[in-house]
Amino acid sequence: MKKVITVIFLWLCWGFALGTLLLLGPTRWLLNYEREKGMTGSTENTTVIILIIILAIASFAVAYFSSKSILNPATGATKRLALSGIPVVAALFAVYVFFHPDWINSDRENKVNSLNTSFSTGSYPELDKMIELKSEGFTAVVSLLHPAVVPFEPVLLEKEKKNAAEAGLEFISIPFLPWVSENENSIDSLRSLIKKGQGKYYVHCYLGLDRIAAASRIINQEGKTMIHSDTGNKDSLFLKKKFERGNVVEIEKDVFLGPQLTKEEYFFVIGNFRQVVALRNMKDPEIKIHVEEEKKWLQPFKIPIQIFEVHGQTSATEMQKIVNAVKSLPKPLFIHGFFTDDKEIILFEDTYRKSLN
């Protein structure tokens, strides 16, 4: 029993310490490379799963073999102390690192991204960053950190409240967990702030990545005066990205045609559209389920979806009517079937392009 407890304890310590190192190094480098190359979300997930498996095996191996030496009566006291103490100290240091987001953020992630005259986004601000924001005219920090993300975010929230008060900034908490729930209450709170707020706001999460991406889309949707737009860069990345069910093409300015996106893929690009069109056969029960799921994904972001009935025998005349209807919809517009090479999608693209001549 003593051996089992020792192995498990060491495994946890080594796992957390090596996991932190893996997260801040190889994992980040590999995912950034895959995103730059436009690889699919499933490829990224596979990469993460492989790295987790490697971490679990490596940390267990280190824990198992070091525990044998620790529990061996012949092992010297100094060696036993080192084998026991190093993983504990390493794990404690890893915890300490996570309580200091500025150590984790790169220079690129520490930059302030101005969405409009009232809202900017970025990563977690320490006191010196808050003082800098105050000098630049910001009146409040809006934290998307969630107290349920223990043990780090509750502590960082309390620290942030004190730092905001010291810097002379209002502190606003809108807890956000985009990958766990729909966050309808948080989305409503953010929309209300966007519409009624009179100050200049710095919105942030932990690293300024996923939760900020969701918040940025909501801010942009509400139509505040834009300073600049990086839509062109996003569209470029969107067109380069290889989605699970096919690629996306731009058949006219702000009109994109592609496959049915997964929830993860949708979350990445949803802010670029005002309207979604689904070309699907709603008489198929399985397709109907997919469309209903898609509606739920889009609803929190107030992106309308219009469905046009198509099937394997859709005629050119019927498709022309659909194209005419689609052209009257608001842009930017995303149109999809299930796969990019579906017969109906190919016919739609051909009909649409002919209508441009």
Domains along the sequence of the chain with CATH: 2-98 (no CATH), 113-228 (3.90.190.10), 233-355 (3.90.190.10)
Q: How far is CA 148 from CA 154, 171, 187, in A?
A: 7, 19, 17
Specify whether the CB–CB gap between 120 and 203 falls below 8 A: yes
**Which residue type is seen at 291?**
V
Instruction: Please state, in angstroms and as integers, the Cα–Cα distance from residue 243 to each residue in 32, 178, 218, 303, following that order.
Output: 16, 20, 23, 20
User: Which 3 state secondary structure label does DSSP give 52?
Assistant: helix
Angle at the Cα of 145 from the Cα atoms of 53 and 139, rounded to 5 degrees: 145
Predicted confidence pLDDT, tens digits, the chain (357 residues): 888 999 999 999 999 899 888 877 787 777 667 666 666 556 766 787 888 899 999 999 999 999 999 989 889 889 989 999 999 999 999 888 888 777 776 555 567 888 899 999 998 999 999 999 999 999 999 999 999 887 788 999 999 999 999 999 999 999 987 555 667 789 889 999 999 999 999 999 887 666 887 788 788 877 555 444 444 444 555 666 678 888 889 999 999 999 998 877 776 676 678 899 999 999 999 999 989 999 988 887 788 999 999 988 899 999 999 999 999 999 999 999 999 888 999 999 999 999 987
Contact (CB, 8 A) for 226 and 187:
no
